[in-house]
Structure 1
Amino acid sequence: MSSSTRFPNSLEAHAAASNLSATSSGLDVRLAARSGRLATHTSGLAAEYVQGNVAILPADLANDFLRFCQRNPKPCPLLAVSEPGDFRLPELGADLDLRSDVPRYRVWRHGELVDEPTDLREIWRGDLVSFVLGCSFSFEHALLADGLPLRHVQQGRNVAMYRTNVATRAAGPFHGPLVVSMRPLKAADAIRAVQITSRTPAVHGAPVHLGDPALIGIRDLARPDYGDAVDVAPGELPVFWACGVTPQAAIAAARPAFCITHAPGHMLVTDRLNRELDRA
């Protein structure tokens, strides 16, 4: 199965598939995923609500993964951790079921991607610990509210994501490259984006790189490792943020016998408000 995942290429197709929009609530999005009405990416949906990356691992790996997140807070900002076997996270939503409320999951066995289901109830286990990590889709609302254009949102696409040559700090078996998301911006807009996102470290914070992608090991912006490519127009800079898909690279390197993640771009949308994460 290819590491890149393709999605509808227009806002109209995206909205029509789920009857959701930027004004939907986090609960609206979760219920749509739970019922099977939403199986595509969540970029541009429920703009006021915090979105999260998901990693679900057996309890005997949970401490190592927790340390990996603590050592790499930029790509892995922890929002919540469950008790073993508990599919609820009341601090993120009163009506929240980790087995069904992500539009699409990825199931990994020994580091290999084996399935992309939309529901986990048949394979859920009592020893599974769930981690929810901050997502850049949350800070996009602040960028859009400030008038900064985001091309992938305009085009109804998933954000482009790339593996870099920047190593993460290992913990136990978990190690691998930093994964970044990219948004093209004019120089003045990029400066403003740095100012805005630096206030939200819980959802990756300020960019990790601006400009030449080759300096962080990215050879071709037109070929993202995850998500959808967008053009970088003349006069624009590619701006790179740490990405919550980084744990998937670490999980692939660790090769656990069994674990689950979200499919890139298919986030858990919570009941927390983005403005609660603003440090300023």
Structure 2
Amino acid sequence: MLRLTPLRPSLASVFRELMLDGTRRARDISGMEEGFRMASVVILHKDLADSFESFCHANSGPLPLLYRSKPGEFQCPKLSGSSDIRTLCTQYYKFEKGELTGQLPSLMENTEDLSNMVTFYLKARVPLGDTDQKRAASIYKTLVPCFDVGRFQCNLVVSMRPVPEGKLEAVTQATHPAHDSHGAPIHIGHPGLIGVEDLSRPDYGDAVELSQGDVPVFWACGVTGLEAVKSCKPPLAFTHSPGCMFVSDCEKGLSTAAPSPDPIDIPNVFCISQQPLHFSLASSAAVKSIRALETQIGADPGERGIKALFVPDELLKACLSLSHAASVLITTGFPTHFNHNPPEETDGPPGAIAMAAMLQALGKQVAIVTDHRALEMNRRIIEDAVEEGILKTPVPLLSFQDSSADSALRFLCYDGDPKTPRYDHLVAIERAGMAADGNYYNMRKVNIKHLVDPIDALFTAASTIPGISTTGIGDGGNELGMGKVRDAVRRYMPQGELIACDVAADFTIIAGVSNWGGYAVACALHTLHYCPVHQRYLRKAVGPPTLTHTGPWTSALPSVRKEEKLLEILVKYGIRSGKTGNLGMEVDGLPFHDTHSSMIQSLLDITVQPLGTA
């Protein structure tokens, strides 16, 4: 419940009088607004009031509703005992049929019109830039659509504040508890990711300069209400002019709840991309759960010494990046059994399909690229997986040949244009990776290049295309993507100097068995889906939360029974255990029961318990 504590009326009154007589301009508010609660104002005909209220509730990030007046009510007793809506803002915008037709110092001459109109007071911060710069807020229109209600259909408007990278988490945690206001940032990083092309040209307010080491941080902004009025095109409407908000008699600060001690409500900030710069949020509870998954898959039953390759939080960062992706390309296939047909092993495909199932459930486009010679076999495996209920729908299968200098670019991007990537994220799981000498080696130092298509070229090309991230999942260091830990592979892994993959991924997930890494990705994506902090950030605080809605996400998780069925399918098609070459219910020489089944159940146990209870 919102608590607003009245100030001494004279303080707020003096401030309003200074604003009204022109002594202060919007850009001079810096420092003076301390102690005052501010509110944005939207005034509409009473026939549109219910629809706009629903629009506010559906988009509470930019439009946190404080008070809805009765038709013709000029006072707002909840916020001020003496103010009059016709004079309480220093400047008003007048709209007719969605067009701005006037900027008014008061609405006294519109009293008759206002008798049939309803005033909405929307909670607002004054989103100033660096106060040392003495500039008004930088406010930008985005390409992020709000949740439509009736004729109110517009994009989100945001305010921007530069924040030193080292203070991102502190600023996020400081603003997050203000659930009755704009709350935590909705985007941290490159402005182009939300459709803001030029920070030096704000749509409202002044440009704020970024210093060395600053990161642009964006909050949902109440000026979204102005854009909603434009989209509705009512015959007549009024709003406050940006920067000229209503100053209440209520104390600022006491209405904001103290930071919650509950780990499900504490945001953590992680960088998930450098090109373009992009940060994401997850709650402390979700972070703890995903770290537990990462620890679990780090078990080393084969005693390969994989702990030497471990990089903390790679599972977490990879899955945060995947959560933001709309389209994902997965590759797998390690033809280690070069004397058999097929030469593939049972490690890789199950993990790839587990990830694909969860990505499908989350509504993302997903495809698998593999060796051309193995396309038909993989097609039959996927058909059987759908029939058995392991996959909801078939996953498109692709192959890639590096036939020209721009083959990879044309494969990854529409018309070969790096500004329009076809995929947001590439994932390799137990996929043979190219060594420094251009060959591909299994763990016995056998060169299997003749069985491997040059899918590595896609990862190499992706590293030069802004907007495409990559993840490699492996258990020995010779898998695609392990180039990020190449030095550790050469130093600590058997035959590492020869077999180490030379092609890096942005994120490298190390697991005792690669399939376990794929299962953990599926589980971590499920955890993020049910993380309120991450979900709010993902939807940019617009639209209603979906956390309580029923959906296919839990049923898409890997389970012991589903993975047992899939291993039976692989064995049916002659695919063998990687370490022993046995054609049976084992992966990497380890029996499905109880080694792999126990790991799957442990990952599920971590995932399905309520966040914050671990």
| Aligned residue number for residue 17 of structure 2 | 31
Pairing 1:224–2:202 present: yes
Quickly say closer, same or farther: Cα 1:26–1:109, change in 2 above 3 A: same
As a proportion of its length, which structure holds more helix?
Answer: 2
Q: How far apart, CA to CA, are the structure 2 residues paired with 1:45 and 1:172? A: 39
Q: How far apart, CA to CA, are the structure 2 residues paired with 1:164 and 1:122? A: 34
The root-mean-square deviation of aligned C-alpha atoms, in Å, is: 1.7
CA contact (8 A) 2:26 2:136 kept: no
CA contact (8 A) 2:141 2:158 kept: yes
CA contact (8 A) 2:91 2:103 kept: yes
Letter in 2 for 1:278: T
Structure 1 residue ranges, 4+ long, deviating more than 6 angstroms after superposition: none
| Aligned residue number for residue 105 of structure 2 | 118
Counting only pairs closer than 5 Å after superposition, residues 170-181 of structure 1 correspond to structure 2 as 170-181=148-159
Structure 1: 5+ residue stretches without partners: 1-23, 141-149
CA contact (8 A) 2:124 2:182 kept: yes
Letter in 2 for 1:60: D
CA distances 1:221-241 after superposition (whole Å, capped 9, x unpaired):
001111110111221000000
CA apart distance, 1:201: 1.9
Quickly say closer, same or farther: Cα 1:179–1:80, change in 2 above 3 A: same
| Aligned residue number for residue 134 of structure 1 | 123
CA distances 1:182-215 after superposition (whole Å, capped 9, x unpaired):
0001012222110111111222000000011111
Does the residue aligned with 1:272 lie in a helix, a strand or coil?
A: coil
Pairing 1:158–2:136 present: yes
CA apart distance, 1:128: 1.4
Q: How far apart, CA to CA, are the structure 1 residues paired with 2:43 and 2:133? A: 31
Pairing 1:214–2:192 present: yes
2:238 paired residue among 248, 253, 260: 260
CA apart distance, 1:35: 4.5
Quickly say closer, same or farther: Cα 1:162–1:31, change in 2 above 3 A: same
Letter in 1 for 2:35: E
Quickly say closer, same or farther: Cα 1:123–1:37, change in 2 above 3 A: farther
- Larger Rg computed on CA atoms: 2
Letter in 2 for 1:275: G
| Aligned residue number for residue 239 of structure 1 | 217
1:278 paired residue among 256, 260, 264: 256
Among all aligned residue pairs of Structure 1 and Structure 2, give the percentage whose two residues are the same amino acid: 37
Q: How far apart, CA to CA, are the structure 1 residues paired with 2:226 and 2:247? A: 19
Structure 2: 5+ residue stretches without partners: 1-9, 259-614
CA distances 1:40-92 after superposition (whole Å, capped 9, x unpaired):
45453231111011101110111111000000000000111111101100110
Q: How far apart, CA to CA, are the structure 2 residues paired with 1:114 and 1:61? A: 20
| Aligned residue number for residue 200 of structure 1 | 178
Pairing 1:103–2:90 present: yes
CA contact (8 A) 2:38 2:245 kept: yes
Does the residue aligned with 2:173 lie in a helix, a strand or coil?
A: helix
Pairing 1:63–2:53 present: no
Quickly say closer, same or farther: Cα 1:43–1:172, change in 2 above 3 A: farther
User: Could you tell me the TM-score, scaled by structure 1's length?
Assistant: 0.83
Letter in 2 for 1:32: L
Q: How far apart, CA to CA, are the structure 1 residues paired with 2:168 and 2:38? A: 22
Higher normalized contact order (CA 8 Å, seq sep 6+, divided by chain length): 1
1:54 paired residue among 19, 35, 41: 41
CA contact (8 A) 1:30 1:96 kept: no
